[in-house]
Amino acid sequence: MPSQPRLRAISKSEKTFDLSAYLERTTAAVNTGFERLLPKAATKPSTIHTAMRYSLFAGGKRLRPALCIAAAEACGGNLEDAVPYACAVECIHTYSLIHDDLPAMDNDDFRRGKPTNHKVFGEGIAILAGDGLLTQAFEILAEAKAAKRYPHNITVLELAKASGSLQLIAGQVADLEGEGKKLDEKELRYIHERKTSALLTCSTRLGGMSANCTSAQLEALTDFGYHVGLAFQVIDDILDVTQSSEQLGKTAGKDVAAQKATYPSIVGLENSRQIAKKLTGKAFAALVPFRAKAVALEGLAKYLLERDR
C-alpha cells in the first residue's frame, strides 16, 4: 500500500505547522510587496490606480501567493525572492475576477465581501482596472530577480501561458459557452483544469523557479499544483451550493442560477467530496520528494480541502 506511509508522514508534519500564522506572514509580505510594486492610488490617472488597488486589497484569501511562497520554500528558496512572483500571479487572479464579475460575463455585484469593481467604478474603469492588473503582472515579473536556471523569458512565458487563450481564458470561454448545457465530467474537468488549476499550477511553478528549483522539483510542483487546483475547484463548486453569500463573500448559488455544470450537479455532493479528497491525496503524494520542506504546501493543500469559504 504505497499511499499510506505518505499520508501518515504528512499528518505528522502538519501537527507542527501553524497555517493561520503562515497565511498571515505570506499575506503581509505580499501586501508590502504590492505597496512597493504598484503605482500609488494618487498616481495620475488616480481613478485607475484606485480601482486596481480596490480589488487587490479587497480581502482575497491570497492563496495563490501563499502557494507560490510555500513552493519556493520547499525548494530551499526564500520569501523575499518569491514575493514579486507571488504578486504577479495575484494580479492575474484579481484581473480575472474583475472581468468575470462584469455584466457581460457572470454579472456579479459582490466579491470578497464588497461591491464588485464595476459597481464602484463603473464598467469602463473596471475593464481598464483588469487590463491594468494583467499588464502589471508582467511588469512585476520582468523586474523580479531571476534565478540562474529561470531567466525572465522563461518566467514570463510561464505566466503568459497559464493566463492565455489556451488556459485561463480557454476555461472561461468554455465556461461561458457551457451555460445551460448538459456537460459531462470530462468536459467539466476541461474547464476546471484551465479556469482554476492552470493558475494554481503556475503559482507553485513560479515559486519553484524563484528558488532556482531543479527540473525534478519543478515536475513535482506541477503535479502538486495541478491536483490541488482541481481539488480547489471541486470544493468551490461544493461551497457554492452549501454556503451562504455572507460566508463566501460572493453570491452563493450562482452556478445553479446560471445553469452551470458543476461537480455536485454531475456526480452529487458526496461523490464530489470524495473526488476532492482523492485529488488532495494525489497532491500530497507529489510532495514526498520535498520531505519536511513541504510542510507549508501540505498545510495549504489540507486547508484548501477543508475550507468553508
Residue 196 interacts with ligand GRG (CB under 6 A): yes or no? yes
Residue 112 interacts with ligand GRG (CB under 6 A): yes or no? yes
Stretch that binds ligand GRG, among 17-25, 75-83, 97-105, 145-153 (CB under 6 A): 97-105
- Judge contact between 53 and 283, C-beta under 8 A: no
What are the strands, taking DSSP E only, across 92-241? 110-111, 114-115
- Judge contact between 235 and 307, C-beta under 8 A: yes
For ligand GRG, the closer CB: 116 or 155: 116
- Judge contact between 209 and 158, C-beta under 8 A: yes
Stretch that binds ligand GRG, among 28-36, 166-174, 220-228, 291-299 (CB under 6 A): 166-174
145 SS3 class: coil
- Please, what is the minimum distance in Å from the beta carbon of residue 9 to ligand GRG? 27
The set of residues, in sequence order, having a beta carbon less than 8 Å from that of 256 and lying 6+ positions away, is: 240, 241, 265
Residue 63 interacts with ligand GRG (CB under 6 A): yes or no? yes
Q: Report which residue type is found at 213.
A: C
Q: Rule CB under 6 A: choose which of 41, 169, 269, 288 binds ligand GRG.
A: 169
- Judge contact between 67 and 229, C-beta under 8 A: no
Judged by CB under 6 A, the number of residues near ligand GRG is 16
CA nearest neighbour of 132 among 39, 28, 36: 39
CA nearest neighbour of 276 among 222, 234, 224, 227: 234
Residue 61 interacts with ligand GRG (CB under 6 A): yes or no? yes
Stretch that binds ligand GRG, among 40-48, 93-101, 206-214, 283-291 (CB under 6 A): 93-101
Residue number with the smallest Cβ distance to ligand GRG? 60
Q: Which residues bind ligand GRG (CB under 6 A)?
A: 60-61, 63, 93, 96-97, 99-100, 112, 168-169, 172, 195-196, 233, 236
